[in-house]
Amino acid sequence: MGFILATVLMFLVVLTIFLGVRIVPQGYKFVVQRLGKYHKTLNPGLNFVIPYLDTIAYRVLTKDISLDIPSQEVITKDNAVIMTNAIAFISIIDPPKAVYGIDNYRIAITNLVQTSLRSIVGEMNLDDALSSRDMIKARLKESISDDVAAWGIVVKTVEIQDIKPSQTMQIAMEQQAAAERSRRAAITEAEGKKVAAVLNAEGAKEAAIREAEGKLEASRLDAEAKMILADATREAISRVTAAIGDNQLPATYLLGEQYVKAMRDLSASGNAKTVVLPADVLQAVRGLLGK
């Protein structure tokens, strides 16, 4: 009987020591309740509590925690539907607030991030939303930091994992992009034709100018040649007139010689049928001289 009592007493002593000693691993903090009420927080290492009165109510992870925010549809300011999801990194700095301030901080923060993300993206146009991840991340962190601070939690960062148009929006955007490319191609082709037409017109203009200048120069040279020929003819006539004087016989001879040559050429022509010569050639030549 005494042995049994001693054994029971020894078991109670060992159990009491076991219940009074708590070893907290690194990266955790234990929340202790005494008779159902918060008493204290045990830090990593060896800790002592009062057996039977103190109980470990919560084991809180103090390392950085990653929360995967599920993908959701968000409507932008210009009524475009995009799909977006994120990941939040948080750290618990006040375990009592985290376990007593909210029933489930993981679900609460996930819902808070989703709601804030819908609100932020809903104020932006599609193009801004797709190209402004850093701005969305900064605003998202700022919008939820104050709320989670009341739960003893710090938001380290919130990263936007993916933000892209929905399937229907992607199809519409691809069609729009194809139409835009076709429009630009048509504009480029039209501009090319316009430039080609302008260049052709300028080329034709320059060619016409050069041709006109050439004709003008040719006309000028022809006029100068005619003037030189006229001057030469006048000089020759003057010299002939001065040489002949009142004696008409040399002039008559020369003119008659040219007259006979012209008649010979005329008779040798293939189109000539009949050549009529005057009976008195000398008188005809004198008639040319007006004598």
In this structure, are 227 and 136 located in the same domain? no
Per the structure, how many domains does the chain have? 4
- Give dist(CA 164, CA 172) in Å, integer: 13
Q: Which residues lie across from 73 on neighbouring strands?
A: 83
Q: Is the pLDDT of residue 286 over 80?
A: no
Of the listed ranges 164-178, 191-205, 268-282, the least confidently predicted one is 268-282
Collapsing DSSP to helix, strand or coil, 56 comes out as: strand
What element of type H or E holds 85? Answer: strand 81-92
In this structure, are 83 and 96 located in the same domain? yes
In this structure, are 40 and 101 located in the same domain? no
pLDDT digits (tens, 9 = 90+) for 80-118: 888 888 999 999 999 999 999 898 999 999 999 999 999
pLDDT averaged over every residue in the chain: 81
pLDDT digits (tens, 9 = 90+) for 160-194: 888 888 777 667 666 777 788 888 888 888 888 88
Give the pLDDT score at 266. Answer: 66
Q: In what order do the strands lie in the sheet with 28-34?
A: 37-42, 28-34, 54-61
CB within 8 Å of 129: residues ≥ 6 apart = 74, 76, 82, 121, 136, 163
In this structure, are 235 and 271 located in the same domain? no
Top mean-pLDDT range of 72-81, 146-155, 159-168: 146-155
Pairwise pLDDT comparison (120 vs 277), residue with the higher score: 120
CB within 8 Å of 288: residues ≥ 6 apart = 255, 259
Q: Mean pLDDT across the stretch 240-254?
A: 61
In this structure, are 72 and 151 located in the same domain? yes
In this structure, are 254 and 285 located in the same domain? yes
Give the pLDDT score at 248. Answer: 58
Q: Is the pLDDT of residue 285 over 80?
A: no
pLDDT digits (tens, 9 = 90+) for 38-52: 999 999 999 988 888
Q: Which domain holds residue 259?
A: 246-291
Residue 32 · residue 41 · CB < 8 Å: yes
In this structure, are 173 and 154 located in the same domain? no
Top mean-pLDDT range of 2-16, 78-92, 217-231: 78-92
**pTM assigned to the model:** 0.56
- What one-character DSSP code corresponds to residue 269? S
In this structure, are 173 and 156 located in the same domain? no
Domain boundary (39, 61, 83) is at 61
In this structure, are 262 and 283 located in the same domain? yes
- Give dist(CA 57, CA 29) in Å, integer: 11
- Give dist(CA 6, CA 29) in Å, integer: 37
Domain boundary (46, 61, 76) is at 61
Domain boundary (125, 150, 165) is at 165
In this structure, are 84 and 137 located in the same domain? yes
- Return the closest-CA partner of residue 144 out of 124, 120, 163, 167: 120
CATH number at residue 93: 3.30.479.30
In this structure, are 70 and 141 located in the same domain? yes
In this structure, are 238 and 280 located in the same domain? no
